[in-house]
């Protein structure tokens, strides 16, 4: 299969989109500059007008200033909206540039989830799932913490049910065609990744529980409402927030009509200062949780709003979208409201915030609103964030589909085991250099024994099969001309590592890995096993006996997989088990003192080995004929 088909159209799509948004950005920059100039003119106009009217009544002066300030405020709001559009356009341009780099296999702009590297996972380390230049980094376009966790979950826990895989395929296929939705979602949410504040802190209370989520990160939900009603549940404060502004208003009216002395206002502010800071401890505790969180909440609200405003055909996407409407108020409206409350509380230390707090207990009011919001909506947060994370993961998957027009969605088999693939390639190998090969595992029990020389392509082939199998079980498209698989549990042993911390040798680590495979088979699990060079940590004769014994045991346990080895004797097992073993090979061809590789899989046992040849070429293999 030619993976270059359609890729030029993808390149052109991002180039054209980048140029379109660059032109829009240039217009916005000019408009922002002109708006700033107009604002300056308005301020200068106010100063000049007040100078010429300096002998007028003070009410007239206030009126003139108010008119100019109103016009100035309009342009401030307009300037803010223009700036938001500028950030959006810059985000679109950056996205296009990053995707163009990704098409050339530069994934450095994207997160590889390096902390997820796990030597104990069934296949994560062997298939290079996480880290720099990893599979996850090449696919990951998530923009929220819950989306990142959901996508990590997909990679580490592929689906096992045919119906679930087909549903996810349909959802990914649908969302891959929604270019505008995916790009808006990505650019809007990109800023949220910079926020390090834990959103769960807002809902942390005494006795909190973490509710586990299959698709996304755990979300804290309060077990008791007592801890989120410290102010809103206090009758004294509920009365005080209304009584204080009423007293203030009456005092101002009294002073205006000369009924009271202006000193009454001063006395009021002294007394109110003592009153409004009575609940300071409770407010500060809440403030510590929500400080600077309004921006990320606003971003989440916008992302959810984009989902709410879309129509989806996929049953799975419809189901997750419906979670945002589980309450009378949609999730986007509710979270945007919370963002506004949090933003207001964030301003408590500003000059205006202090003044307003003195007049009508603004801090207490905002804190009570946040508490009331928690009481009403906290129970829905898990569902909302689950759904948001899943949509984020779907958008990332959809972008992967769009960026790889030559990839196909595999067929999912009904019976264990079947794997039939034509022209499988590794998605991290450059399309111009990738050599594709077939794979056939028609039944269980059945093993492919792959022999071959060093550097001939055995390990790459194992990873190619493993990666495409994993993507098939994730509901993702695969690098193949065709592929049919049964979603068994994948287990690999390709690069077993020793452990200094646990005083564990390389050989013992490999034995533990093989014991894990046998134990899982004995529980009845249906596995696809991929092994590279069994028992690498022991001597040749011991290794040969152990390898032969292991293969016989695996065949007896009705399982299947691929085993790569340098041990040509392992190929003799096909004579004993002709219905269960097929020998295939990667050859190193030596002609005219030149070593060449085709990286093409052939039938039979390898004929040529190249270790001695390479040692001679590198000057390592000495000439001892004279000694």
The DSSP code sequence of 369-398 is: HHHHHHHHHGGGHHHHHHHHHHHHHHHHHH
Burial of 374 (0-12, 13-18, 19+ CB in 10 A): buried
Contact (Cβ atoms closer than 8 angstroms) between residue 495 and residue 423: no
Nearest to 360 by CA among 237, 235, 236, 245: 245
Domain's final residue, options 352, 369, 397: 397
Query: What pLDDT does residue 553 have?
Result: 93
Beta pairing class for 446-452 and 560-565: parallel
CATH code of the domain covering residue 443? 3.40.50.300
Residue 60: the pLDDT is 86
Q: What is the pLDDT of residue 64?
A: 92
Looking at the structure, do residues 435 and 566 belong to the same domain, yes or no?
yes
Q: Within this chain, do residues 562 and 432 fall inside the same structural domain, yes or no?
A: yes
What spatial distance separates the first Cα and last Cα of the chain, rounded to whole Å? Answer: 55
Q: Identify whether the C-beta of residue 381 lies closer than 8 Å to the C-beta of residue 222.
A: no
490 with 542, same domain: the answer is: yes
Quote the pLDDT of residue 615: 55
- Which of residues 373, 397, 421 is at a domain's end? 397
* SS (HEC) of 50-92: HHHCCCCCHHHHHHHHHHHHHHHHHHHHHHHHHHHHHHHHHHH
Q: State both tokens at 131.
A: 């880290």
**Number of helical (H) and strand (E) elements in the chain, helices listed first:** 20, 14
Q: Which of 191, 194, 192, 218 is nearest to 204 (CA)?
A: 218
Nearest to 573 by CA among 451, 464, 438, 458: 451
Does 280 share its domain with 363? yes
Tell me the backbone φ, ψ of residue 451, rounded to 5 degrees.
-110, 160
What's the rounded Cα separation, in Å, for the pair 543 and 520?
23
Task: List beta partners, residue 424.
Answer: 437
279 and 419 part of one domain: no
**Full strand arrangement of the beta sheet holding 419-424:** 411-412, 482-485, 419-424, 437-441
Beta strand 482-485 with 419-424: parallel, antiparallel or unpaired? antiparallel
Burial 589-608 (b: 16+ CB within 10 A, else e): eeeeeebebebebeeebbee
436 in the same domain as 362: no
Q: Are 261 and 304 in the same domain?
A: yes
Is residue 475 situated within a structural domain? Answer: yes
- Predicted local confidence at residue 119, as pLDDT: 86
Residue 304 lies in a domain: yes
Of the three residues 397, 430, 464, the one that is the final residue of a domain is: 397
Number of structural domains in the chain? 2
Domain that holds residue 586: 411-617
Whether 152 is in a domain gets the answer no
Cα distance between residue 353 and residue 359, in whole Å = 10
DSSP 452-483: E-TTSSHHHHHHHHHHHHHHHHHT--BSSSEE
How far out from the chain centre does Cα 286 lie? Answer: 29
Contact 48, 68 (CB under 8 A): no
Residue 447 counted as domain residue = yes
Helix, strand, coil shares of the chain, percent, nearest 5, are 60, 10, 30
Res 266: pLDDT: 82
Query: Which contacts of 91-96 are long-range, i.e. CB under 8 A and separated by 24 or more positions?
Result: 91/187, 91/188, 91/190, 92/17, 92/18, 92/21, 92/183, 92/187, 93/18, 93/21, 93/22, 93/25, 95/183, 95/186, 95/187, 95/190, 96/14, 96/15, 96/17, 96/18, 96/21
Whether residue 431 is found in the same domain as residue 328: no
* Any domain includes 179: no
Residue in 18, 32, 29, 142 with CA at minimum distance from that of residue 78 = 32
User: Are residues 274 and 354 located together in one domain of the fold?
Assistant: yes
Q: How many residues does the chain have?
A: 627
Neighbour count for residue 201 (Cβ, 10 Å)? 13
Q: Are strands 588-591 and 594-597 parallel, antiparallel or unpaired?
A: antiparallel
428 and 467 in a common domain: yes
Q: Does 242 reside within a domain?
A: yes
Q: In this structure, what are the phi and psi dihedrals at residue 420, rounded to the nearest 5 degrees?
A: -130, 110
Q: Helix (H, G, I), strand (E, B), or coil: what is residue 504?
A: strand
3-class SS at 563? strand
Q: Which residues of the chain have pLDDT under 50?
A: 1, 205-228, 498-503, 624-627
Q: Are 308 and 321 in contact (CB under 8 A)?
A: yes
Task: Provide the token pair at 3.
Answer: 């993976």
Reading phi first (left if > 0) and then psi (alpha if -120 to 50, else beta), residue 444 is in: beta
Check: CB of residue 534 under 8 Å from CB of residue 450. Answer: no
Classify residue 41: in a domain, yes or no: no
pTM, rounded to two decimals: 0.86
Tell me whether residue 85 is in a domain. no
Residues 423 and 312 occupy one common structural domain? no
Q: How high is the pLDDT of residue 181?
A: 97
- 517 and 436 fall within a common domain: yes
Q: 255-294 b/e with 16+ CB inside 10 Å = b?
A: eeeeebeeeeeeebeeebeeebeebeebbeebbebbeebb
């Amino acid at each position: 299969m030619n993976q270059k088909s359609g890729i030029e159209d993808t390149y052109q799509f991002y180039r054209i989109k980048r140029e379109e948004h660059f032109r829009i950005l240039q217009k916005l920059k000019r408009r922002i500059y002109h708006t700033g100039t107009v604002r300056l003119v308005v301020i200068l106009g106010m100063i000049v007008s007040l100078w010429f009217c300096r002998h007028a009544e003070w009410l007239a002066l206030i009126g003139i200033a108010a008119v100019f300030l109103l016009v100035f405020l309009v342009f401030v709001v307009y300037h803010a909206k223009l700036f938001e559009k500028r950030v959006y356009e810059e985000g679109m341009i950056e996205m296009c540039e990053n995707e163009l780099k990704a098409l050339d296999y530069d994934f450095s702009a994207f997160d590889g989830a390096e902390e997820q590297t796990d030597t104990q996972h069934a296949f994560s380390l062997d298939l290079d799932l996480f880290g720099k230049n990893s599979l996850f980094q090449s696919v990951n376009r998530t923009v929220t913490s819950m989306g990142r966790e959901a996508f990590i979950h997909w990679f580490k826990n592929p689906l096992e049910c045919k119906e679930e895989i087909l549903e996810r395929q349909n959802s990914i296929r649908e969302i891959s065609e929604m270019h505008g939705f995916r790009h808006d979602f990505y650019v809007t949410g990109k800023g949220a990744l910079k926020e390090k504040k834990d959103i769960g802190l807002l809902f942390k209370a005494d006795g909190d529980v973490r509710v586990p989520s299959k698709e996304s990160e755990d979300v804290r939900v309060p077990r008791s409402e007592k801890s989120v009603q410290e102010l809103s549940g206090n009758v004294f404060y509920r009365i005080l927030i209304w009584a204080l502004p009423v007293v203030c208003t009456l005092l101002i009216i009294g002073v205006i009509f000369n009924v009271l002395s202006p000193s009454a206002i001063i006395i009021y502010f002294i007394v109110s200062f003592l009153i409004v800071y009575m609940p300071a401890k409770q407010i500060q505790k809440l403030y510590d949780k929500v400080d600077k969180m309004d921006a990320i909440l606003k971003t989440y609200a916008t992302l959810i709003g984009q989902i709410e405003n879309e129509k989806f055909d996929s049953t799975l996407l419809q189901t997750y979208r419906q979670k945002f409407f589980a309450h009378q108020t949609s999730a986007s409206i509710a979270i945007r409201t919370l963002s506004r409350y949090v933003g207001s509380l964030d301003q408590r230390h500003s000059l205006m915030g202090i003044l307003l707090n003195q007049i009508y207990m603004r801090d207490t009011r905002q804190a009570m609103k946040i508490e009331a919001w928690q009481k009403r909506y906290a129970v829905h947060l898990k569902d909302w964030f689950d759904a948001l994370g899943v949509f984020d993961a779907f958008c990332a998957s959809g972008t992967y589909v769009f960026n790889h027009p030559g990839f196909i969605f595999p067929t999912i088999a009904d019976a264990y085991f079947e794997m039939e693939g034509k022209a499988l390639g590794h998605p991290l190998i450059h399309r111009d250099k990738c050599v594709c090969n077939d794979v056939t595992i028609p039944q269980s029990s059945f093993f492919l024994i792959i022999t071959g020389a060093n550097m001939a392509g055995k390990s790459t082939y194992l990873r190619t099969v493993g990666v495409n199998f994993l993507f098939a079980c994730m509901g993702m498209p695969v690098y193949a001309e065709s592929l049919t698989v049964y979603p068994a549990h994948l287990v690999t042993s390709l690069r077993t590592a020793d452990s200094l911390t646990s005083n564990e040798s390389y050989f013992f680590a490999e034995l533990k890995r093989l014991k894990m495979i046998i134990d899982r088979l004995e529980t009845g699990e249906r596995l696809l096993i991929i092994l590279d060079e069994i028992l690498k940590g022991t001597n040749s004769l011991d290794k040969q006996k152990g390898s032969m014994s292991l293969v016989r045991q695996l065949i007896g346990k009705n399982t299947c997989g691929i085993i790569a080895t340098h041990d040509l004797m392992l190929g003799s097992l096909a004579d004993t088990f002709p219905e269960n073993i097929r020998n295939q090979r990667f050859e190193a061809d030596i002609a005219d003192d030149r070593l060449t590789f085709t990286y093409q899989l052939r039938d039979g046992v390898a004929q040529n080995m190249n270790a001695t040849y390479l040692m001679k070429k590198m000057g390592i293999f000495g000439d001892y004929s004279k000694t």
